[in-house]
Amino acid sequence: MAERRAEISRKTNETDVFVRVNIDGTGKSQISTGVGFFDHMLDQLSRHSLIDMDINVKGDLHIDDHHTVEDTGIAIGQAISKALGDRRGITRYASLDLAMDETMTKAAVDISGRPFLVWNVMFSAPKIGTFDTELVREFFQALAQNGGITLHVLNHYGANNHHIAETCFKAVARVLRTATEIDPRQADRVPSTKGMLA
């Protein structure tokens, strides 16, 4: 089977983003976005999806973190989509409830080629440290839209906003891991009655 790897470079007046992914990795990452909490979340995304990720971003952080977070999501989504190619042989679907201390979050994914985000996550504060909690949704919106992924994220409950954000990243990581794995029973087929996922 061909290696499922890809690189994306994206440069605008607001950000300069480089992303490299290996879908069949071991969850190794080298991440530098200039936003400490975001780096921590991206490390969780890589570690628990087993997708190797090299991410280097220089953004207009003197304004705020928004462009850096959104454009990183765009590039990761594009890289994953490119690495998956025609999505032949993938498991395609996955769903998981993930617990972390007092928090539980569900993620469900269809790597369908049809981007859609359903987001049912509430934070009780506008910030985690200096990080805007609304940017968690912005990241996953960009990831889903540019990865051709239908993604549903639902926080069942939680008290700690750090834990709520982290369970979102970990749960999405775990469903990406399962959904991108090759199904040995249909390794040579695109998992769709249409014959394509685009």
The 10s digit of each residue's pLDDT in 38-47 is 999 999 999 9
SS3 of 72, please?
helix
**Percent of the chain scoring above 90 in pLDDT:** 87
Q: Which two structure tokens, joined as six digits, stand for 198?
A: 């685009």
Q: Which two structure tokens, joined as six digits, stand for 169?
A: 């990243």
Q: Which two structure tokens, joined as six digits, stand for 25?
A: 């990795």
pLDDT of residue 197: 64
Q: State CA 71 to chain mean position distance.
A: 12
Burial class (CB in 10 A: 0-12, 13-18, 19+), 36: exposed
Q: Which residues pair with 53 in a beta bridge?
A: 21, 29
CA distance 107 to 119: 10
Look up residue 46 and give its DSSP letter.
H
pLDDT of residue 165: 98
Give the residue ranges of the chain where pLDDT is below 70.
1, 191-193, 195-198
**pLDDT (tens digit, 9 = 90+) per residue, 164-197?**
999 999 999 999 999 999 989 887 877 665 766 6
pLDDT of residue 128: 97
pLDDT of residue 131: 98
